[in-house]
Each structure stands twice: as structure tokens, then as C-alpha cells.
């Protein structure tokens, strides 16, 4: 075991992992996080905490992770490269580990243009793959990025990375995944899958390169709340593909929320049959309460 | 070249509101080429400032001159007699030009008429685009001659990120994704091995993070 986290145990035992995702509040209270922890406890193996997603200021992902852990849910702390340089990131990696955080997801981060402080200066001292390499170096080589030795108590994270099979160039996405694995990623969470055919093609390429044997791939699923939401994701969210027929199905449904849940369950059941997929990551941001129902309907618990 | 663009005229008028006589200095270098601060632009700025002042019912005397390059002391010195005569100098040079004038004429108020925007080139008549991030450690030999440091909004060195779709950058549908361009170029050149290599964390001490930079060529020093 590299980190000893629950998520690492579940995956290394070959069990189909289930993770969810929470966006921390835009205030200084742990109340919502405690509520979400109560809803999700026992239903999932770990829960991602976003790091100021879409570049909107929120309670810090590390602090939120501690609140979740205190309430019985194992966190996956997300860390982006947008807001901190290598000094601050390594400092936070030591701090988060000292607070019991064991799972870390490394991302570039959404550009600040999309957030509530578009005037901000971005950092991007290092990129997501360099971050993976840095966290792996701290764990396996016991070294800071500069090469200086971490003499004792080096942080040992279970290192996550993301893959987006729906971004371009498509044929490069698998090669970039491989770069992340080579840099030190232990598990991968994918962007939300709506175009399952494209994901099938992606996994076929993954298997051809044998990557599913080197890393745990957790497939992203997002339940659609309404046809309007689906249309918004299709048109406005970068790096996402939502097929028209899915939106049409949502439009025709009497109860769109129920239909969204049904689609998510069908997707999970389909994804479970794809060789090389080690789990699902259910991203129901601002709709966390639906996660237990989806998990139950999909027969994951 | 260094590309600049004019500041709003009212902003410049505000800088000189207490002056009665100003010298408007154009630059024959980069800002002239990017049509922001050459002879024509200097004359037009002076005329506009006079008109604005007249509308206030007051008078503004302007003198206009353009020097070969504002970033070289000998050209800067060549206008000393004109500088003496005025309350303030308005420069149509880039940020470097304004500072060279201000350093040279220590007792004179030197004001910028332009915003200096980027190091770039002319992509078509009237359109200029950024190309160099002045990072001090060029990696164009690894990226097919396309700079991710400045052309990628996140300056990532192992791209393209997950926001690249249909060859465009997620932050602006009109901006090509630099890493998509790099991928296509390397692919066409049969050098995709370069994009598969891990680019380690960059040494930013060679860019502005490392403090003021200067360059010395011993054999050229007098």
C-alpha cells in the first residue's frame, strides 16, 4: 500500500469503487459539508472535494476534507495549479497529510476567466503532470521538487489525476493519460461521460496500450437535472460532449429529474461492463442528495 | 516587436490637465511599426489633446517630435533642447521608452500615452498577435516552434489540457489551443515523440520572477 487510504484498499482489492464529489460552500461554515457527509456516509468509498472549482472562491478543499473525515467520509482532496506556486503547494501537501488527508487529485484547474475573480493573476508555476511528478517524488523519492531530501515524515499520498476523453485531439488523450501514469498517477477520474460510444473507443485505446493494468480508471458520471441543464453543458462547458439524443430523451420525459437519475443508472450499468474500468465517480454537484439513490438503483451497494 | 495600443484619450488628457505646454514624443521603433506610437500617431494625439483642452476653454501648447528609438540614450538626448521648453513630456514609446525618457530627464514629468501589451508580430495588416513570453529559457526546439508559455492561457508544458476542444482554447473560442497547434505540427513533422516526453517543472528564475534582468556583452562594453 502506498498511502493506506480506504480508496486505495478498495481499488487494490479489485472491488468496483464508488466516489462522489462535493463543492465546498462559499462561506466559512462547515454546516453544509457535515450535512453532505451524513447523506453520503456508507454509500461511497471516498468523496472528492473540489478546489475552488470554476475559479470561484470557496472554503478550502483541505479544510473541507478535514470536515468530511471528521464526519466519517474519506476525502479525495483536489489540488489545482492555478492559485499556488510550488512552494505553497508542497507546504499544503505537508499540512494536509498532517491532518490525515491521504487521497489527492491533481488538476490544472479552470482558468480564472470563468470564475468570480477574472481580474486575478493566475500562477501555473507547474502544470498538472508536473504536480503528479512532484507528489510522487515527495512520496517515493522522499524529496521536495528542488531535490532536497525530506528527512522524516514524508507525505505518502494516493495520487489521482484526471483524464478527459471528450477533449481534443482525441487520439492524444490516451497518450496524455499515459504521461500522467508515467509521472506517478495511481488512479484516474474521468470527465463526465455522456457520449458513451466515445468513452468505449477511449477505453479500447487504453486497453491496447495496457494502461488499465497500470492505473485504476474511475469513470465519471453526472446525473442530468433537466434538459436545460444538459443543453447548457453541451453548449457552454468546455471539454464536454452531450449527444443530442440524450437531450431529446430528457425533453420528452414527464419527470426530467427522475429521467436524469435513470440515465445515470443506465450509464453506470453500461460502464461496469467495460473492461478496464475500476469504478465510477458520481459528480452531482449541488445535487449530492441523489447519490445514494443512484448507487442503490445501480446495485453498487 | 513590442506591441502597444493607445490609452483612452481622456486618460492622457487627465495626466496633463495642469500643464500648459507639452512635448509629444513618438518612437520610430516598435510602436511605430505597430501603428500606435509613430510620427502620425504623435501628431494626431497632440491635435486631439489640443481640441479637448479648447473645449474646456483653455489653451494647450504642443510640440511634437519623433525619435528613432526611445530605448537608446543617444536618441533620447537628441531632444534635450525641446524637453527643456515644456511642463511635461508625453511618450508614445512602449514602457521602456517612457522609462528611458524619465530616467534621462530626471526633473521632467514623463507620461505614457500607450499601454504596452505584448511581444508579438503582425499576423495581417492591422492585426498583431502575441508570440513570446520573454521567459528567458526558450523551449521552441521542443514544441515545433510554437510557444506554450505565452500562447497557452495556463502556460502548461505538458498539454493540451482538458479544455481543448476542436482545436480551440477553452477561454476563448477564437483563440487556437497552442498545444493543439503543437500536436498538429509535431504530428506532421513525424516528431510526436517530443510531446510524449515529460517536460519537468520550468525554472522561472530566468523570467521576471527572478528579479530585474540585464544582459552584458563584454566586447561591446566601452
**Domain CATH for A253:** 3.20.20.220
pLDDT band, very low/low/confident/very high, at A20 (cuts 50, 70, 90):
very high
Question: Is residue A122 less than 8 Å (CB to CB) from chain B?
Answer: yes
Residue A81: closest C-alpha in chain B: B154
Contact list, A178 vs chain B (CB under 8 Å): 196
pLDDT digits (tens, 9 = 90+) for A207-228: 999 999 999 999 999 999 999 9
Q: How many domains does chain A have?
A: 1
pLDDT digits (tens, 9 = 90+) for A133-152: 999 999 999 999 999 999 99
Kindly state the percentage of chain A with pLDDT values over 70: 100
Q: What is the per-residue pLDDT for A238?
A: 81
Whether the pLDDT of residue A236 is over 90: the answer is no
Looking at CA atoms only, how far is residue A131 from chain B in angstroms? 9
Q: Is residue A272 part of a domain?
A: yes
pLDDT digits (tens, 9 = 90+) for A53-104: 999 999 999 999 999 999 999 999 999 999 999 999 999 999 999 999 999 9
Whether the pLDDT of residue B167 is over 90: the answer is yes
Whether the pLDDT of residue A286 is over 90: the answer is no
Sequence-separated (6 or more) residues with CB below 8 Å from residue B101 = B25, B70, B76, B89, B91, B93, B108, B110
Contact list, A88 vs chain B (CB under 8 Å): none
pLDDT digits (tens, 9 = 90+) for B70-123: 999 999 999 999 999 999 999 999 999 999 999 999 999 999 999 999 999 999
Domain hosting A191: range is 6-297
Q: What is the per-residue pLDDT for A237?
A: 86
Q: Is residue A199 part of a domain?
A: yes
Q: Which of B135, B144, B162, B199 is the best mutation test for A, with the most CBs of A within 10 A?
A: B162
Instruction: Report domain extents, chain B.
Output: 2-118, 136-207
Phi-psi domain of B88 (left: phi exceeds 0; alpha: psi -120 through 50; beta: other): beta
Residue A236: closest C-alpha in chain B: B170
Q: Which of A238, A242, A283 is the best mutation test for B, with the most CBs of B within 10 A?
A: A238
Q: Is residue A1 part of a domain?
A: no
Question: Is residue A130 less than 8 Å (CB to CB) from chain B?
Answer: yes
Arch. (CATH architecture) of B2-118: 3-Layer(aba) Sandwich (3.40)
Q: What is the overall mean pLDDT for chain B?
A: 97
Q: Do B166 and A164 touch (CB under 8 A)?
A: no
The mean pLDDT of B134-153, rounded to a whole number, is 97
The mean pLDDT of A108-119, rounded to a whole number, is 95
Amino acid at each position: 500500500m502506498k498511502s493506506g487510504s480506504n480508496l486505495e484498499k478498495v481499488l487494490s482489492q479489485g472491488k468496483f469503487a464508488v466516489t462522489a464529489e462535493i463543492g465546498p460552500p462559499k462561506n466559512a461554515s462547515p454546516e453544509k459539508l457535515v450535512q453532505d457527509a451524513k447523506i453520503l456516509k456508507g454509500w461511497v468509498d471516498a468523496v472528492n472535494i473540489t478546489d475552488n472549482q470554476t475559479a470561484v472562491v470557496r472554503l478550502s478543499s483541505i479544510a473541507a476534507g478535514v470536515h468530511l473525515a471528521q464526519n466519517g467520509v474519506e476525502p479525495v482532496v483536489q489540488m489545482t495549479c492555478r492559485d499556488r506556486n510550488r512552494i505553497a503547494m508542497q507546504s499544503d501537501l505537508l499540512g494536509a497529510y498532517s491532518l490525515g488527508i491521504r487521497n489527492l487529485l491533481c488538476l490544472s484547474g479552470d482558468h480564472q476567466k470563468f470564475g468570480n475573480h477574472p481580474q486575478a493573476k493566475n500562477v501555473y508555476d507547474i502544470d498538472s503532470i508536473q504536480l503528479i511528478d512532484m507528489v510522487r517524488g515527495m512520496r517515493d523519492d522522499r524529496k521536495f521538487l528542488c531535490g532536497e531530501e525530506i528527512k522524516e515524515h514524508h507525505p505518502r499520498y494516493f495520487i489521482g489525476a484526471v483524464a478527459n476523453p471528450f477533449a481534443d485531439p482525441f487520439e492524444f488523450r490516451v497518450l496524455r493519460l499515459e504521461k500522467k501514469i508515467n509521472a506517478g498517477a495511481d488512479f484516474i477520474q474521468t470527465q463526465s461521460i455522456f457520449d458513451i460510444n466515445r468513452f468505449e473507443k477511449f477505453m479500447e485505446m487504453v486497453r491496447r496500450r495496457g494502461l488499465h493494468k497500470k492505473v485504476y480508471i474511475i469513470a465519471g458520471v453526472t446525473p442530468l437535472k433537466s434538459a436545460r441543464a444538459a443543453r447548457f453543458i453541451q453548449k457552454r462547458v468546455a471539454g464536454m460532449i452531450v449527444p443530442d439524443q440524450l437531450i431529446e430523451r430528457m425533453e420528452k420525459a414527464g419527470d426530467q429529474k427522475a429521467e436524469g437519475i435513470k440515465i445515470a443508472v443506465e450509464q453506470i450499468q453500461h460502464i461496469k461492463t467495460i473492461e478496464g474500468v475500476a469504478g465510477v465517480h458520481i459528480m452531482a454537484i449541488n445535487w449530492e442528495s441523489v447519490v445514494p439513490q443512484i448507487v442503490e438503483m445501480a446495485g453498487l451497494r | 516587436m513590442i506591441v502597444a495600443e493607445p490609452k483612452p484619450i481622456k486618460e492622457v488628457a487627465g495626466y496633463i490637465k495642469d500643464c500648459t505646454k507639452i512635448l509629444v514624443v513618438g518612437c520610430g521603433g516598435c510602436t511605430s511599426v505597430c501603428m500606435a506610437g509613430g510620427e502620425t500617431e504623435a501628431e494626431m494625439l497632440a491635435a486631439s489633446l489640443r481640441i479637448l483642452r479648447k473645449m474646456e476653454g483653455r489653451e494647450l501648447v504642443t510640440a511634437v517630435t519623433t525619435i528613432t528609438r526611445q530605448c537608446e540614450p543617444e536618441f533620447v538626448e537628441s531632444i534635450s533642447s525641446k524637453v527643456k521648453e515644456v511642463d511635461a513630456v508625453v511618450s508614445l514609446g512602449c514602457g521602456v521608452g517612457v522609462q528611458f525618457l524619465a530616467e534621462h530627464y530626471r526633473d521632467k514629468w514623463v507620461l505614457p500615452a500607450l499601454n504596452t501589451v505584448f511581444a508579438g508580430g503582425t499576423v495581417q495588416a492591422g492585426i498583431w498577435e502575441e508570440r513570446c513570453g520573454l521567459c528567458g529559457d526558450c523551449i521552441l526546439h521542443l514544441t515545433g516552434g510554437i510557444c506554450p508559455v505565452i500562447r497557452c492561457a495556463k502556460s502548461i508544458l505538458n498539454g493540451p489540457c482538458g479544455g481543448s476542444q476542436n482545436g480551440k482554447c477553452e477561454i476563448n473560442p477564437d483563440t487556437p489551443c497552442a498545444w493543439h497547434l503543437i500536436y498538429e505540427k509535431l504530428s506532421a513533422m513525424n516528431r510526436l515523440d517530443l510531446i510524449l516526453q515529460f517536460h519537468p517543472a520550468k525554472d522561472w528564475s530566468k523570467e521576471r520572477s527572478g528579479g530585474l534582468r540585464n544582459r552584458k556583452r563584454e566586447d561591446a562594453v566601452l
